[in-house]
Structure 1
């Protein structure tokens, strides 16, 4: 290759080199919980939900299934020369194994929670599923991200300089990455936007060379987060170097191999800066060659140059199959966490004659899919699931409130006119080829409203124009429900601009005061990429209230309130204007005020009430915990999530999900969001009283633990000890139990309060007893000192084996379990 050809191969949009038989390849693919942004695909529960299953074998199966769908999507749109486009390749930028250290982080939903051990085991399961077990070929390439210290705030991620202590780095931030490299054999790692100890993550030789490659033996390639390479030199970012050429040179020499560009930089992948760096002597061409070898090795192992591509049993139609959707539902069921069940309200007894399903997430597509999602062909909302499960019941559905404000409803057709005099109802619409309103007009017509639906490969934009008649005087809110960007003008005012860059926007709305009877010029613009679209003009008129929801509740035998959040208000660098939210992150853990108010009014009706939460992070639902008899945490449960929620309510399965994060009572219990010290954070270092502890989850049956058996009560320098315990289902029905083993080191400096070191989810029939065996090793029994050295420290070690942590509070008894104790008789220093 020429130097210019080499430079272009080091960006995520690698062009073809026909003279060398190299097809084009786009490295950018998202697979957080299913194939994302490539049209129809099976959508599994969001990552935080799958973590709540505490089921590594099931997550491995999900990873393998997602890899099959990636192969199918690659075949569906593969170039004749074997090349691939955006979101059609086989290099998957998942999983996200950052530690969810603070529930205010909007992207925490993408992680496996707050615990290093749980995150590592689940990360390994997902990675080995994605990459497969073929001795020669990789099914896909998985990517552990974002290496290594990254968890918000979103608003400052391109400028943040994080300074973790040596203890916290080794004890909390690195273990999951180490596990996915040394045990999971992950083929790719993504470096972070922010700086660590003054050095940008993608120019940090301590992280990428000394730690990742020398200490852990990583053999794959490192890709930058999208735009992170530019952060090295951008004046409005980290500005670590003065020039772009110097910036990319520093990055590649430190161990970065592939640059992902970003939208803010017009998708640049810096080939011209790489060439300049080599020609000016700042970047040895041998370093460029080193990165190229790593990248092409991955492409070769994927079979992209093989005349007979591997995995020939996979066809271009092997996605969104009934079997894959069934697996999504199974994972959704496994992820459900029963937080509270006073008086055994659940499961529902018999068949209620009338069920009121109320709340902003009851019939919400957004609440199913979370962020970084694909397109389920047959999405099942909670409302859909309850209707399907109780076909003979009368189901009353009222939204009642929006997520963060008044309920938004479709603008009525009879409020819209083509002309200013309102002689003709409807709106004029122009459809454009392409998403920028600049291409050729493909259709011009009159439609009743600003709305349309499709299911099929398409990329388009549209403009609706006409007249809006205000039915009453007062302040209105406007939004365009869309999978992509939108803008709305009323009169001469741009009410809302959420054009975005192509990913799902927030639910940003705009307000304007209108006068009854006046005619206002209206213009709505929106664009859409992908295979699914359901776009509609929404408003919240001045008289919108909660009366219909209260009336429905009064008629019902059972009320199911479905609330929480969605990835339109928590996520990655978002525009959200509401109390409690900032830039995709949160400033409060409370249930949004509009939902809290309605929930309290419904409770006051005295009707049996179940609260179903759909969210990607912890909520401080203190009032609900004190007043609502049953609370279910459903997360963002995927395309078939509504069936899973309905099945839990009906008792079709016994819930066994466990919290992968602590549910605090308030953000006031936490240190500052910008503080990366772990003191006072997560169950490992939090000494206050949580609302619901990490590992918590109730069941419809009961379990009993026998006294544990240790292979030895005195352990030597190898740290090895076997622990076993009998677990019995002593309840009235079959069910799963999640057996959790925690280790504590009383009085040892640097040791957490307790730390999860082993777990297993097992199914037990009514009356069945099974012995569970765990083997602990030196790493499981080690602690990290202030200098970041991991070591065995002689002394007492306490063990707890149970269905949760040994903690209790009024109204929340401790989980069933048993304690044991051993003595470490020798010290030892462990390798990094």
Structure 2
């Protein structure tokens, strides 16, 4: 078995040269020869090259291009000794001179630009000579905040162009171990800057677009035979899977065992990788160090052979993370014969297109402008009291620029970076708009010396405006370094408050970080007029920040992460993997999908300098769209005589489980400044589906709209059960339950449907938490336990008047059908629902999941994920509901074994307050850190600001799918 495994691993190195290199330029550093006078040949199997090596090319069948790849590969493998094979299976393949096989360095990185990570060691990439540097784009978390798929692909194209040019100069390989597409489950994770955030769908769409940008050869993007598609460079999606603990209070990634439920694994941790393979056609997947439920990720045949190769049909190879080869050799049984064919097919074609790329294609003006544009699109406006921004350069003549990041250089490019073309610091950027008075305020982000605060206060007293730049850096959050709290380090908070108190003009706070920071003190401080999150914005970050603050660019980014309050990390350890709340331990949920408590800023939040409105233009199927009072009703241009609901609405009339649901939205810029808007569409579960997400992003689109103009309608499409992992054997049954009506189109009379046949009982393997105890009333929001979903819910809106900026509309990439996206929501509010028409309980079993009996929890068996009795045949039921604000739903009498959830108490929207989460029964307290002060004491939470979320799509169709083992179903959509 070891020999078979070595043979398979060896193919990774061999195939790259014996097959692919025939069509590309070789660089001198890739060849090892005993002949001192070797030359730079165009391919490995060059007759003159073999002559210089003292070999006859006719003796080597693997160089005969007229025969099949399989035969050529076998010929080369059969000639190798065991020792020679072992020498090829690391990231440095040593080559075999006697067989004409050159050396190759597999390790190159291109996370957000060509990186020199590993330079001087085993990396194939190095800077110097003709290539002193390469364009350093913003870190991934920043470009993800743009929510612009065309931008993600365009960055990938620019990076691969520079990579190919460096390869032609002999200073880079062609296999790049990027991108990192792990979902940010916990805000403390040190590698959040490398990833696209917490939503698995956004992460997956980023992966597919960035990989396509790296790999695609122009003109061959739509090649139907994936085995013959040529590659520009080879990308790698990492780290597979359930990896997001690096080094937290003595627990490191090399020894961590991720205990993950099958549902979380499929819905969250595997989904981005599935999209990367299926939609991005990535060449490689890298498995991670950690174990998953006791099995090393690089040794799990179910995850590797069955899933990646089998279910997803990877056209490429699987590679272990650095120094994990022992795990692969000792434990993995997945590398039999399949990889050889996959690699040969994936790498056999396509490198002659880029021989002309050279040093002029690196750090080009076009790429530097793209880096600037990417930073601008990703920067998020978090606060703008009284429209203090943008600043007027005609009135602001002197600018105080203070803080540890005021003159940032290397911190702006984060990790896995190369040598940038140049830096434009914040001081440089603001110098273009006025006279800059610069003071550090802190020597670095640790900010241990408070004496430096006073010079910063002095310049703030004299300047017309003050910019404070604070945050984190790689000394706080990085690979192998997780955070222990969510606070600004050292005296940074004191610096901000004291400078803001004495400043003569408006005060703008800029935060550089990857993960969220609890800056509630600044959010609530009236002396701080505006707040921007800039992440780590790349080499041109200073220019991007200044252009936004002075109005040359209208911000439109949205947060790709939830910003939790500081005490969130006291509620649960980082090593607790479940995403859903763990009630018996008092652990809250994770990410916007399952955390229902108070936040500093929710996922998807972001403001603009202008205002936008949405209008539903068309719908291929009638759909109920409800704009609740929290999200501001918008006029929908009803036809005269049509019924006008309190808020514009269209009702889903007839849609089956396997049908697409399509609609179009028109975006209008009603303000006075051009800007971009991110349209985000979510689906929300019907009430009674336990452990379902609070909401789930299913589509997003970034559009640029001129002031006072409309954008052409944006088409959206979603399949009812898409991405909910229906087994192939699942069958769908359509059961209309009640009357339907249609709003928006011309007046239509209600149509009544007969009652459906009885619905079978719920599936057994439904994954959910037990229902709350039976009560006679629903407590107000301030005391609602995290685990108990209110009977009637709507989502809190996100950013007020958010906009979005994209690349020019002609280059904007539109979603193909069936894209799924999600949105944040800090808390649930109780609102009236539309009409409900009732059928006898015998005909409509509407609460099977909510009434499932669960035994009481025991100390040794927490009840977080029980299962019901498996149904013999998976079926999907489709129910229509019509709701009325004043109607009371009929419930059959409760039984001792099947208590019903409590009825909803509708609180008037005008008086609904934003309450903090209730005290939890058990709270996790990490040990104190001498370098990180404890979080500040609790404070009252002000009501959330009115935010912009124009359309709330509230479908009245309830889908119940009886699936083994997953039965999370959804029916509500909203913007």
TM-score under structure 2 normalisation? 0.61
1:59 is aligned to: 152
The CA distance in 1 between the partners of 2:338 and 2:716, in whole Å, is: 42
How far does residue 368 in structure 1 lie from its aligned partner after superposition? 1.1
2:715 is aligned to: 773
Change (3 A) 1:805 1:685: closer
The CA distance in 2 between the partners of 1:302 and 1:347, in whole Å, is: 48
1:455 is aligned to: none
2:303 is aligned to: 207
2:684 is aligned to: 744
The CA distance in 2 between the partners of 1:602 and 1:638, in whole Å, is: 27
Structure 2 residue matching 1:31: 3-state secondary structure:
coil
The CA distance in 2 between the partners of 1:631 and 1:791, in whole Å, is: 49
Q: Does 1:821 align with 2:954?
A: yes
Structure 1 residue matching 2:672: 3-state secondary structure:
coil
Could you list the per-position Cα deviations for residues 5-63 of structure 1 after superposition, in whole angstroms to 9, with x for gaps in the alignment? 22222211001223333221111011110000133000000000010010011110100
Could you list the per-position Cα deviations for residues 585-628 of structure 1 after superposition, in whole angstroms to 9, with x for gaps in the alignment? 11111112311111111112143210001111111111011112
Q: Does 1:133 align with 2:40?
A: no
How far does residue 549 in structure 1 lie from its aligned partner after superposition? 1.1
How far does residue 830 in structure 1 lie from its aligned partner after superposition? 10
> Match for 1:219 among 295, 315, 330?
315
How far does residue 831 in structure 1 lie from its aligned partner after superposition? 12
1:586 is aligned to: 483
Unmatched tracts of structure 2, length 5 or more: 1-79, 117-125, 128-132, 221-228, 581-588, 622-651, 738-791, 803-822, 828-913, 915-942, 967-975
Question: What are the residue-to-residue correspondences of 1:336-735 with 2, within 5 Å?
Answer: 336-351=379-394, 352-387=396-431, 389-390=432-433, 393-406=434-447, 544-573=451-480, 584-607=481-504, 608-627=506-525, 628-668=528-568, 671-679=572-580, 680-707=589-616, 709-712=618-621, 713=652, 714-735=654-675
Structure 2 residue matching 1:818: 3-state secondary structure:
coil
RMSD after superposition: 2.8
How far does residue 153 in structure 1 lie from its aligned partner after superposition? 3.6
Change (3 A) 1:749 1:677: same
Change (3 A) 1:211 1:92: same
The CA distance in 2 between the partners of 1:254 and 1:379, in whole Å, is: 46
How far does residue 366 in structure 1 lie from its aligned partner after superposition? 2.5
The CA distance in 2 between the partners of 1:23 and 1:223, in whole Å, is: 20
Q: Note if contact 1:715-1:824 (Cα within 8 Å) is conserved in structure 2.
A: no
Q: Note if contact 2:592-2:825 (Cα within 8 Å) is conserved in structure 1.
A: no
The CA distance in 1 between the partners of 2:403 and 2:177, in whole Å, is: 34
Could you list the per-position Cα deviations for residues 330-367 of structure 1 after superposition, in whole angstroms to 9, with x for gaps in the alignment? 11111110011011111002341221100001112122
Q: Note if contact 2:592-2:824 (Cα within 8 Å) is conserved in structure 1.
A: no
Change (3 A) 1:789 1:570: farther
How far does residue 64 in structure 1 lie from its aligned partner after superposition? 0.6
The CA distance in 2 between the partners of 1:111 and 1:697, in whole Å, is: 19
The CA distance in 2 between the partners of 1:661 and 1:762, in whole Å, is: 21
2:768 is aligned to: none
Change (3 A) 1:798 1:734: farther
How far does residue 694 in structure 1 lie from its aligned partner after superposition? 0.5
The CA distance in 2 between the partners of 1:746 and 1:792, in whole Å, is: 18
How far does residue 708 in structure 1 lie from its aligned partner after superposition? 6.4
Could you list the per-position Cα deviations for residues 123-160 of structure 1 after superposition, in whole angstroms to 9, with x for gaps in the alignment? 10000000013544200111111001100142510000
Structure 2 residue matching 1:767: 3-state secondary structure:
coil
Aligned residue pair count: 621
> Match for 2:329 among 240, 248, 263?
248
Change (3 A) 1:716 1:828: farther
Change (3 A) 1:783 1:89: closer
Change (3 A) 1:829 1:68: farther
The CA distance in 2 between the partners of 1:794 and 1:572, in whole Å, is: 51
The CA distance in 2 between the partners of 1:402 and 1:790, in whole Å, is: 64
Change (3 A) 1:688 1:187: same
2:185 is aligned to: 101
Could you list the per-position Cα deviations for residues 171-192 of structure 1 after superposition, in whole angstroms to 9, with x for gaps in the alignment? 1111111111111111100000
Structure 2 residue matching 1:701: 3-state secondary structure:
coil
Change (3 A) 1:295 1:783: closer
How far does residue 824 in structure 1 lie from its aligned partner after superposition? 4.9
Q: Note if contact 2:663-2:716 (Cα within 8 Å) is conserved in structure 1.
A: yes
The CA distance in 2 between the partners of 1:365 and 1:61, in whole Å, is: 24
1:279 is aligned to: none
Could you list the per-position Cα deviations for residues 487-526 of structure 1 after superposition, in whole angstroms to 9, with x for gaps in the alignment? xxxxxxxxxxxxxxxxxxxxxxxxxxxxxxxxxxxxxxxx
Q: Note if contact 2:447-2:489 (Cα within 8 Å) is conserved in structure 1.
A: no
Q: Note if contact 1:794-1:826 (Cα within 8 Å) is conserved in structure 2.
A: no
The CA distance in 2 between the partners of 1:621 and 1:544, in whole Å, is: 22
How far does residue 65 in structure 1 lie from its aligned partner after superposition? 0.6
Structure 2 residue matching 1:561: 3-state secondary structure:
strand
Q: Note if contact 2:425-2:541 (Cα within 8 Å) is conserved in structure 1.
A: yes
How far does residue 76 in structure 1 lie from its aligned partner after superposition? 1.2
Q: Note if contact 2:176-2:235 (Cα within 8 Å) is conserved in structure 1.
A: yes
Structure 2 residue matching 1:310: 3-state secondary structure:
helix
The CA distance in 1 between the partners of 2:793 and 2:684, in whole Å, is: 5
Q: Note if contact 1:782-1:792 (Cα within 8 Å) is conserved in structure 2.
A: no
Q: Note if contact 1:51-1:112 (Cα within 8 Å) is conserved in structure 2.
A: yes
How far does residue 296 in structure 1 lie from its aligned partner after superposition? 5.5
The CA distance in 2 between the partners of 1:293 and 1:150, in whole Å, is: 29
Q: Does 1:757 align with 2:698?
A: yes
Structure 2 residue matching 1:355: 3-state secondary structure:
strand
Q: Note if contact 1:805-1:814 (Cα within 8 Å) is conserved in structure 2.
A: no
Q: Does 1:812 align with 2:945?
A: yes
Q: Note if contact 1:53-1:657 (Cα within 8 Å) is conserved in structure 2.
A: yes
1:414 is aligned to: none
Q: Does 1:21 align with 2:100?
A: yes
> Match for 2:176 among 89, 92, 108?
92
Change (3 A) 1:16 1:799: farther
TM-score under structure 1 normalisation? 0.71
Structure with higher strand content? 1
Q: Note if contact 2:181-2:204 (Cα within 8 Å) is conserved in structure 1.
A: yes
Q: Note if contact 2:661-2:720 (Cα within 8 Å) is conserved in structure 1.
A: no
Unmatched tracts of structure 1, length 5 or more: 79-87, 233-246, 256-286, 304-308, 408-539, 574-583
Could you list the per-position Cα deviations for residues 227-261 of structure 1 after superposition, in whole angstroms to 9, with x for gaps in the alignment? 2334x3xxxxxxxxxxxxxx61423x234xxxxxx
1:229 is aligned to: 325
Structure 2 residue matching 1:586: 3-state secondary structure:
coil
Structure 2 residue matching 1:706: 3-state secondary structure:
strand
Q: Note if contact 2:372-2:543 (Cα within 8 Å) is conserved in structure 1.
A: yes
Structure 1 residue matching 2:951: 3-state secondary structure:
strand
Structure 1 residue matching 2:953: 3-state secondary structure:
strand
How far does residue 295 in structure 1 lie from its aligned partner after superposition? 5.0
Could you list the per-position Cα deviations for residues 707-731 of structure 1 after superposition, in whole angstroms to 9, with x for gaps in the alignment? 4643221320214110222211001
Q: Which has the higher contact order (CA 8 A, sep 6+)?
A: 1
How far does residue 290 in structure 1 lie from its aligned partner after superposition? 5.4
Q: Does 1:311 align with 2:354?
A: yes
